[in-house]
Amino acid sequence: MYLTTVLGNLLIILAVSSDSHLHTPMYFFLSNLSLVDICFTSTIIPKMLVNIQTHSKAITYTGCIIQMYFVTMFGGWDNCLLTVMAYDRYVAICQPLQYMVIMNPQFCGLLLLLSWIIIVSLFYGTVLGVYLSSASTHGSQSSAVTSVMYTVVAPMLNPFIYSLRNRDIKGALKKVGGMASTEKKILLRLTT
């Protein structure tokens, strides 16, 4: 599942960056969402795989704090990007004639920066909330299932949900794949 998440999201980033037809606000945000999904899952899953392999749940205090920081940061950024993407689609549907004026590159960059500023505010807000609230007890089994669904399954499905059903992304991936097969054919002809 981890490899599917990383490879699927890397394919989206590659497709968007390699095809000039996809240099639009929607795909700009989509490629950033893919990057965040890779970072988010890479914060959690490698440690989880080590724990499963070693049958140990141990983590240092510093390691726990660092992991929680990045989980909260990338999780918050993920949510903010989804909000920005919803706004982008709202403008595209409700203001189609003014879309390119409203969603200009500077505004898209500002929305992305705002998403980062909100990666940090959410982190400090949740830390403050944890220290000011009382500890609550949850069932460990239900918490584990919920955590896996949020940290593993959702980022793995994002490439399928947001892009691979999109014909523009499919076309870009075919072009990238076509270039790779053409390069192999040329290389084979040169070596023979």
- pLDDT for 129 equals 59
Position with higher pLDDT, 11 vs 187: 11
Question: What pTM, to 2 d.p., does this model score?
Answer: 0.71
Whether 107 has a pLDDT exceeding 60, the answer reads: yes
pLDDT digits (tens, 9 = 90+) for 10-42: 988 998 898 888 888 888 998 999 999 999 999
Tokens of 101: 């004026």
Q: SS3 for the chain, per residue?
A: CHHHHHHHHHHHHHHHHHCHHHCCHHHHHHHHHHHHHHHHHHHHHHHHHHHHHHCCCCCCHHHHHHHHHHHHHHHHHHHHHHHHHHHHHHHHHHCHHHHHHHCCHHHHHHHHHHHHHCCCHHHHHHHHHHHHCCCCCCCHHHHHHHHHHHHHHHHHHHHHHHHHCCHHHHHHHHHHHHHHHHHHHHHHHHHC
Reply yes or no on whether the pLDDT at 2 is more than 70: yes
CB 19 within 8 A of CB 172: yes
The tens digit of pLDDT for each residue in 132-183 reads 554 554 556 655 666 666 667 777 777 777 666 677 787 887 887 776 555 5
Q: In the chain, how many domains are there?
A: 1
Asked if the model's pLDDT at residue 77 lies above 90, the reply is: no
Tens digit of pLDDT for each residue in 63-73? 888 998 898 88
- Looking at residue 132, its amino acid is L
CB atoms within 10 A of CB 73: 19
Q: Which residue is associated with the tokens 């084979």?
A: 188
**Which residue, chain included where needed, has tokens 């140990």?**
56
Residue 114's pLDDT is 84
Mean pLDDT of 108-126: 73
Q: What is the CATH number of the domain that holds 94?
A: 1.20.1070.10
| Per-chain mean pLDDT for the chain | 79
Confidence of residue 49 (pLDDT cuts 50, 70, 90): confident
Expressed as residue numbers, the domain containing 53 is 2-191
With a CB cutoff of 8 Å and minimum separation 6, the contacts of 30 are 12, 16, 85, 162, 163
